[in-house]
Structure 1
């Protein structure tokens, strides 16, 4: 049991008596003591059984006076009764010795066996106190304890990523919701300070635009939250019909931006919520349009049965655009845009950074797969695979 655990380990404080999450339990024998007593009892029982067999075997010794092998030896030979009595005394001392050896050996062996479990317990206490940046890291051959340690470390890593993402989401959401309010307040303060020098129609238009942006962010946040707590009402549908509906809604924007649309829409039977899947397709198309080349850009939309996984349907959106890093999975985090958290200066290209996050939420709710792949020449390919009918 030669295992070492990762450094930087500390014992967590004892739970408070009034903490409802950690109920006090009556303290009884520890697992180490139970294993020790079990081991010692097993040794004593095994020894007693062996001695009992020997004792029973000795009872078959003939019960007649024994004489020494040398006739000149005047000392008398022990009788059977004397031999049995001596055997009983030796057996008692032997069982006592076995009990002591069993307790000592059992205590040592139990400590060695349970040491990894103690490391895992300390790590669990630290995690319960809010520290998720440590790992157990047991080494040694694979067994039940190393499997438990690896599983616990994986859980800690996922929890840490989840809490970090939640903290970023809260901070970014606060910023995104506060920005429109701050802009409105600034414009109103300026208008109040100089009421006669204001272009009120333009001021009202800007206030309306800023207010609409706040409403869009709030609606997107509500939709994103609903996706994580409710299951969609699914029904058989064709992704081809969903793609055509979404494409009709973005043709005008594509023409305004000078982006060429190309489609290869084939029947793709799937199962899902039609409204959510249309929103998913719209978000992918809007993302592909707003993160495209300034001039001469293109966008491709395809639907087809999944060639790699029969019984599933695939929707793919590919666009031209700026070069992206090799890893783009982080783009599905809320409020994270391809060029960072700052919004585009051009209102026509400005987004709220929740489009791909909502896409990922819809895909999760439908038990599908979302794959984002950067194109060699720039731009992004988004591939959505959904369960078929």
Structure 2
């Protein structure tokens, strides 16, 4: 069975409304006309039968003429015939016009459908760009274009992530292969010890990279279970577990409770502290503050960061002051993991450069429910 399209339904609605309106107008007009004619004929009969008036001469009705009593029925019969033919013709005209009008109104929908059918991962840059007056259809097209733009950014980010992750994983493998080939070419005890140290260091880097990728994936998938977490206690614990390397760490913590995953929140705090220490000047300062209203704030001294490049800090495998890859102990996933964990906890993370260098990162958590 062939399905009824929206165009057919719109045409039926237009024509049906016209037919109902025309029928209502026709019936109402004819009923009023019949009532008026009956009243006028009755008045004429009363005048003719009134003895006080001189009766007009009665003209003989010619043969085949209509009696005065049957005049209303004759007029109404003629009226019904003409009106019926007119309504039938106008109904056909309304069907044709309704079909054309429905097609014209649905043309933007067909354009949206055709664009959606043509889309694939290779041409996500295509847009509908519907022109015309600002109405519901142009709003729908603009919303669809905005969705395509978000999907394209997500796909591009995923492609960059895959390429960067492949590069990060390929580099230590190349180092391992070179160490094995060169080191075992002359297997002296000294060279074997050096090869062993190199392989262990590369292995540790791979392990950190894989752990970071797993945490990033876990954060993106959301939280399986949550519980109240003392953010101030968690922060002091993360600071005590981090090597300062000659950097002065100043803490100012107040009791603050958030709802979330304690393991992921510990990684969030540890990554922020580790990042503030790593990208700092020798003898620099890291200020850490925890309050119930402001959440967690980490501020450090360090190299100047252009405000226009703040967004790049949260992209995976992105480093502003070193090469994209090649760091022996960092994969460039620290702040991207922080951003993912913050999103999983419905927290808002903001970053701004400090005057004279360094960065201030603030994580604002939603207030826990009573």
TM-score, normalisation: structure 2: 0.85
User: What's 1:379 paired with?
Assistant: 358
Aligned CA distance change for structure 1 residues 141 and 266 (closer, same or farther; 3 Å): farther
Where 1:221 maps in the other structure, the secondary structure is helix
Q: Distance in 2 between matches of 1:282 and 1:215?
A: 17
User: Which segments of 5 or more consecutive residues in structure 1 lack a partner in the other structure?
Assistant: 1-25, 307-312
Cα drift, residue 344 of structure 1: 5.7
Indicate yes or no: 2:167 matched with 1:172: no
How many residues end up aligned between the 2 structures? 346
Q: Distance in 1 between matches of 2:84 and 2:237?
A: 91
User: What's 1:14 paired with?
Assistant: none
Larger radius of gyration: 2
User: What's 2:215 paired with?
Assistant: 223
Q: Distance in 2 between matches of 1:304 and 1:136?
A: 48
Q: Distance in 2 between matches of 1:340 and 1:370?
A: 24
196-205 or 161-170, which deviates more = 196-205
Q: Distance in 1 between matches of 2:103 and 2:116?
A: 19
For residue 130 of structure 2, the aligned residue among 116, 131, 138 is 138
Instruction: Spell out, residue by residue over 1:223-276, the C-alpha distance to the aligned partner (whole angstroms, 9 max, x if none).
Output: 1112222414322232111111111112xx32x3x3222222222222222222
Cα drift, residue 151 of structure 1: 2.1
Asked if the contact 1:232/1:272 (under 8 Å) is kept, the reply is no
CA RMSD of aligned residues (A): 2.7
Cα drift, residue 187 of structure 1: 0.9
Aligned CA distance change for structure 1 residues 47 and 130 (closer, same or farther; 3 Å): farther
For residue 305 of structure 1, the aligned residue among 266, 274, 292 is 292
User: What's 1:271 paired with?
Assistant: 259
Indicate yes or no: 2:143 matched with 1:151: yes
Cα drift, residue 46 of structure 1: 1.0
User: What's 1:309 paired with?
Assistant: none
99-108 or 139-148, which deviates more = 139-148
Asked if the contact 2:256/2:292 (under 8 Å) is kept, the reply is yes
Q: Distance in 2 between matches of 1:369 and 1:183?
A: 39
Structure whose residues are more often helix by fraction: 2
TM-score, normalisation: structure 1: 0.81
Indicate yes or no: 2:34 matched with 1:59: yes
User: What's 2:4 paired with?
Assistant: 29
User: What's 1:361 paired with?
Assistant: 340
152-161 or 114-123, which deviates more = 114-123
* Runs of 4+, deviation exceeding 6 Å: 63-66
For residue 78 of structure 2, the aligned residue among 77, 86, 101 is 86
Aligned CA distance change for structure 1 residues 376 and 112 (closer, same or farther; 3 Å): farther
Instruction: Spell out, residue by residue over 1:321-348, the C-alpha distance to the aligned partner (whole angstroms, 9 max, x if none).
Output: 2222223123212211223653466x4x
Asked if the contact 2:184/2:192 (under 8 Å) is kept, the reply is no
For residue 331 of structure 1, the aligned residue among 313, 326, 331 is 313
For residue 97 of structure 1, the aligned residue among 89, 92, 95 is 89
Q: Distance in 2 between matches of 1:343 and 1:302?
A: 32
Asked if the contact 2:232/2:253 (under 8 Å) is kept, the reply is yes
Cα drift, residue 305 of structure 1: 2.1
Q: How does 1:208-357 map to 2 (within 5 A)?
A: 208-250=200-242, 253-254=243-244, 256=245, 258-293=246-281, 295-306=282-293, 314-327=295-308, 328-339=310-321, 342-343=324-325, 347=328, 350-357=329-336
Cα drift, residue 146 of structure 1: 3.0
Q: Distance in 2 between matches of 1:41 and 1:166?
A: 53
Where 1:264 maps in the other structure, the secondary structure is strand
Cα drift, residue 353 of structure 1: 1.1
Aligned CA distance change for structure 1 residues 376 and 136 (closer, same or farther; 3 Å): farther
Q: Distance in 2 between matches of 1:377 and 1:129?
A: 44
Aligned CA distance change for structure 1 residues 129 and 284 (closer, same or farther; 3 Å): closer
Cα drift, residue 192 of structure 1: 3.2
User: Which segments of 5 or more consecutive residues in structure 2 lack a partner in the other structure?
Assistant: 46-58
Q: Distance in 2 between matches of 1:233 and 1:82?
A: 86
